[in-house]
Amino acid sequence: STACATGNNSIGDAFNFIRLGMQDICVAGASETSLHPLSLAGFIRAKSITTNGISRPFDTQRSGFVLGEGCGMIVMESLEHAQKRNANIISELVGYGLSSDACHITSPPADGNGAKRAIEMALKMARLEPTDVDYVNAHATSTLLGDKAECLAVASALLPGRSKRKPLYISSNKGAIGHLLGAAGAVESIFTICSLKDDKMPHTLNLDNVLTLENNEADKLHFIRDKPIVGANPKYALCNSFGFGGVNTSLLFKKWEGS
């Protein structure tokens, strides 16, 4: 386990097994059943749980996460293997970034440097420019430090060189489903894949007032509020997942355009 980055790590490991020729096909993902008095007590003592019962990713009134439970699994295979069995290809995983910031047992560095490095690694593996990314499915757990640090990381890694005609869309599923801990990345990767497949980027529930960043960087990010974005035709989407202890992961998915 790599804490809340486990789901993304599992998918990333499967990606590398296939990419390096060690496997033709893998089933990757994660599950979590965490609603137990002991786990709740631990998160409450860590001051990670919301104080008002609402998950508000990116909102100025965010106060912590709401625990959830779930499971997400993805069938991954090489293109040759998929075509040989006439599989219904939904998306393509083109980049995987992994970093460790070694900052604090529960808190990320304030500048989001570790997350930024994971994003940049995923871009480098995919041989893409920051401006190629259309949508970010953020880890954003509704915590004071985490959401801000991630926004700084995303802004620093993906905004340079971007014109106003190419908005960078960003949202978090945790306002709707809560924080699934180890399963979060796997489930949110499925949301990310579906956003490309269905041309429908999900909005962040309970986001009323967007947080502020230094140099007004938040104003340059297009936070999806109120309703999903439909018809923007995203081609590349990033899924972030970060774990306690400083593990940062980013998966970069591409819309499947082949036959």
Closest CA to 172 of 45, 48, 62: 62
Round to whole Å and give the CA distance between 235 and 13.
23
Provide CB contacts within 8 A for 12, sequence distance 6+: 96, 98, 249, 251
Query: Cα 106–172–142 angle (5° rounding)?
Result: 40
139 annotated active-site: yes
Round to whole Å and give the CA distance between 64 and 144.
7
Catalytic hit among 139, 151, 203, 239 = 139
Is the Cβ–Cβ distance between 90 and 254 less than 8 Å?
A: no
Round to whole Å and give the CA distance between 176 and 56.
9
Catalytic hit among 26, 179, 203, 239 = 179
Catalytic hit among 4, 26, 151, 239 = 4
Round to whole Å and give the CA distance between 100 and 242.
10
DSSP for 174-240, written as a single string: HHHH-B-GGGHHHHHHHHHHHHHHTTEEPPPTT--SB---GGGGGGGEEE--SS-EES----EEEEE
Q: Give the 3-state DSSP-derived string for 100-112, with helices as H, strands as E and coil as C.
A: ECCCCCCCCCCCC
**Residues designated as active site:** 4, 139, 179
